[in-house]
Structure 1
Amino acid sequence: MKHQTRLGRIASICLAGCALSVLTAGAALAQTQVRLLAPASGSGVGFAAIAEKFNAAQSDVKVEIQRVPSGESYAQAMFTQLQAGAGADLIFTNAGYGAPESMLPLAEAGQLADLTDRAFAAEFPPERVAEYWSDGKLYGLPLSLTNVGLVYNVDLLAQNGLTPPETFEELLALCDKAVSLNKSAVGIAGSSPFYFYEAVAVGTVFVEDPDWSEKRTAGETTFAGTPGWTAAFERVKTMLDRQCFPVGVQAITPPQLFADIAAGNVLMAVGPTTLMGAVVNMNPAITLKMRPFPNDAAERTAAMSVYNDALSVNAKSANQDAAFAFLDYLSQPEQMAEFVKLAGGTAPADAAAGAFPPALEDMVPFYAEGRVHTVPHHAWREPAVRGVLISSGGAFLAGSKTAAEFVADLDAAWK
């Protein structure tokens, strides 16, 4: 009778508006403990808030959040756990290919559960999120539309009579001004700078050739043979020469970057919208906005975005039914809206309607005009290429690699 009572309680919660999946008849009588592995960023904060609501709404499943520092530390923790057979029941993943935590290589290796039969799958067909599907199966719940761009501290700029740059030359002028203020103009996670390099390359490579990644996959071009990649790295070298970054930028980790922005040590930063969520959670009084990283001319500037962040279920989890229950709960519009307020980004329903929050209002014209490109590395099936953006990218920031060596390293990693 106790088991029937438990199912009845869950059914009642569902009727009250929580899309909580009914656990199977074989579920254990004791409370099921579900572990969710997430980065210690805005996403981790968002998961914790939704898990608290979920846990309070019923007593049969308890979701616990394990947060690991963002960036390579997260990927290492995820792989270590999976290889040891101790993977979390729910795993924060990224769309497509190209990153250690990318879902499609994990799915193709049998690590992730098929989500095609979940009710929310109908909202995310391959036509909308191709990076989530493999062989006709869905492997993750898209959490938000992630924009990557230039995040700026609204009040800090205004207090110093400054405005966000619309061109690369204006950005360099801000670098000079920041030096006079004993601040840095641009913060980046130099220990993991792939987003930064891709943001610069949108203007020098992908505005010119939106299909560049497909051509590279087909062997029709190379990094070294594309002047735009060298131009992107030369722009970064110019930023180094103009002291745009904090000293020792190549060693700055994502948590250190979050702290620098929250403390007002930098005027701006380059990163994803989840960066904004992490910073606001550290300093609720800060006002941040994002615009695309500027190109040589305002009319040639373009935005960059992808449904990057996702939540997947471990294919080897002994608690899959409970994990599915939380995933179904999170997929509801009310929960998604609350999640993105904390994590950053734009809820899928809002993105579909073209409704962006105030922090992203500068991005709206670019969407209206179709001046938006996807994040490049999600189309690169070899994670080592993104790895080179990190390793050689860090060396370039440190001054120990040239642009020519950098592009050669990228081509060497492409197999």
Structure 2
Amino acid sequence: MNIRGRALGCAAVAVALLAAAAGCGADAGGDGEIVVSVWDDGREESSIDVAARDFEKAHPDLTVTVQKNPFDQHLQALRRQLGAGRAPDVAMTVVGYGESGTVRALADKGLLADLGESPWAGRLPDTVAGAVGDGSEVYAFPVDSMAIGIVAKKGTDVPGTYTSMLTACRDAGRDGKTAFALGGHENSKMPHIVGFALAASTVYADDPGYGDKRLRDEVTFAGSDGWEQAVARFGEMRDAGCFGENAAGTTREATARALGDGDALMAVTPTVTLPLWQAAAPDAEFVMAPFPGDDDPDRVLVPAGASSGLVVPAKASDAGPGKQFVDFYAKHRARYAEIDGAVPALPDDGGGPRAPGYAAALEPYLRDGRTAPIMDQQWPNPELIARFDSGLVEMLTGRAEPADVLESMDAVWTSEAP
């Protein structure tokens, strides 16, 4: 099972939900050594470990050292390391924007090498290219992909329309259950995932290019019919009892227990967070379904995109070996994705699946392009996702209205990473 993902922002949530404790930053290796810095996903051996051994066999003059740290520590330290010139030779990070250690934020500061000459760089799908490059240069190999939907135990009656979802929330409450496990406690990073799922079928159903327009400062959040509708619907879900009375103070661990114990029926989550729910109910079989953000099935879109990527520092004294490692991983990406239980962000030539097996219901949406972006990948200022998340938590407690949330986001908007 793949537990790579976005901890802040989304596709940010996944590893933050699962990160373990230990370790600190990595320094570049000496002659003949490549240091690859990644976050610790809790497994004894990931695809990076296997790739390191494979690479050493193919390049006996080089040694690969894999250094692992908890997700939050890894991402926070990466920008400092890159700026100080003591970075690893290759690093895993989150694609797009979202916070200071992500691909586009680091690239905006001139901290990443251009990988545009790599053999895989010319084959990036449009849905991925903007998360790993700026149109002229490519800064990361996109490793895996993610999508947002509803996770539930197999056999759960998942609603298919927005209206039926509100009805299901009320029915669950009458039965003493909570329809959606949701944790609004500090650093849970779960409310904005619901917000993304709603906005996919409002903002991006009406205007697929909204994110690019926001980057060009042609539109705002407040005053956008789609965003106003999305956040208002979050309030309607709250009023229908979808999240339970104490959601604002619930931790992500408690949400997992609630879903595992059957006290909650579903959760809105990225595909890469399956291990969180599985750990709470090891004997249960979980599946994922599209989130019904609208009553019109033609308007229901699935937020999806690349999740993590491999980068090479711009200040590396010799970027060649690091680029070699990235290209080697890219060449064998299908095998390494299988080890992680992931779906490659760069599809193979064989037309393989675009969603994990447990999320087969999302496959038609991903294959037919019925998707929206992972929204914070286009939000350069890290404060934006924090404002969105905290604003939705305040809505849970009745301390904010939809307009307050959107105006707060506009107030900190910047079209470049600070």
TM-score, normalization: structure 2? 0.75
SS of residue paired to 1:401 = coil
Give the equivalent residue in structure 1 for 2:138.
138
Pick closer, same or farther for the CA change 1:63–1:266 going to 2, 3 Å. Answer: farther
Cα distance in 2 for residues equivalent to 1:116 and 1:323: 14
Count of matched residue pairs? 374
Give the equivalent residue in structure 1 for 2:65.
63
- Out of 290, 294, 297, the residue aligned to residue 296 of structure 1 is 294
Cα distance in 2 for residues equivalent to 1:47 and 1:319: 30
Pick closer, same or farther for the CA change 1:64–1:403 going to 2, 3 Å. Answer: same
Give the equivalent residue in structure 2 for 1:287.
285
Task: State the identity as a percent.
Answer: 26
Report the alpha carbon displacement of residue 350 of structure 1 after superposing the two structures with TM: 5.1
Structure 1 stretches of 4+ with a deviation exceeding 6 A read: none
SS of residue paired to 1:207 = helix
Pick closer, same or farther for the CA change 1:398–1:319 going to 2, 3 Å. Answer: farther
Cα distance in 2 for residues equivalent to 1:349 and 1:112: 24
What does residue range 399-410 of structure 1 map to in structure 2 within 5 Å?
399-410=398-409
- Whether the 8 Å contact between 2:143 and 2:306 is mirrored in structure 1 is yes
Cα distance in 1 for residues equivalent to 2:132 and 2:350: 17
What does residue range 100-139 of structure 1 map to in structure 2 within 5 Å?
100-124=100-124, 129-134=129-134, 136-139=136-139
Cα distance in 2 for residues equivalent to 1:215 and 1:53: 41
Cα distance in 1 for residues equivalent to 2:122 and 2:370: 27
Pick closer, same or farther for the CA change 1:259–1:61 going to 2, 3 Å. Answer: farther
Q: Deviations over 1:208-237 (max 9, x none)?
A: 222323333444432221233222222212
Give the equivalent residue in structure 2 for 1:249.
247
1:166 aligns with 2:160: yes
Cα distance in 2 for residues equivalent to 1:127 and 1:173: 34
Q: Deviations over 1:296-325 (max 9, x none)?
A: 314221122112321222334568555445
- Out of 212, 215, 222, the residue aligned to residue 214 of structure 1 is 212
Cα distance in 2 for residues equivalent to 1:36 and 1:262: 33
Give the equivalent residue in structure 2 for 1:380.
379
- Whether the 8 Å contact between 1:51 and 1:63 is mirrored in structure 2 is no
Give the equivalent residue in structure 1 for 2:99.
99
Larger Rg: 1
Opposite residue 205 of structure 1, the aligned amino acid is V
Q: Deviations over 1:351-400 (max 9, x none)?
A: 98262443232123334554222222223333332232123233233332
RMSD, aligned CA: 3.5
- Whether the 8 Å contact between 1:129 and 1:307 is mirrored in structure 2 is no
Which 10-residue stretch deviates more, 182-191 or 199-208? 182-191
Give the equivalent residue in structure 2 for 1:396.
395
- Whether the 8 Å contact between 1:147 and 1:345 is mirrored in structure 2 is no
Cα distance in 2 for residues equivalent to 1:102 and 1:67: 16
Pick closer, same or farther for the CA change 1:108–1:224 going to 2, 3 Å. Answer: closer
Opposite residue 178 of structure 1, the aligned amino acid is A
Cα distance in 2 for residues equivalent to 1:281 and 1:325: 36
Which 10-residue stretch deviates more, 213-222 or 141-150? 213-222
Cα distance in 1 for residues equivalent to 2:399 and 2:77: 29
- Whether the 8 Å contact between 1:195 and 1:271 is mirrored in structure 2 is yes
Pick closer, same or farther for the CA change 1:201–1:318 going to 2, 3 Å. Answer: same
- Whether the 8 Å contact between 2:301 and 2:371 is mirrored in structure 1 is yes
Give structure 2 stretches of 5+ with no counterpart.
1-28
- Whether the 8 Å contact between 1:69 and 1:255 is mirrored in structure 2 is no
SS of residue paired to 2:46 = helix
Cα distance in 1 for residues equivalent to 2:397 and 2:80: 29
Which 10-residue stretch deviates more, 92-101 or 320-329? 320-329
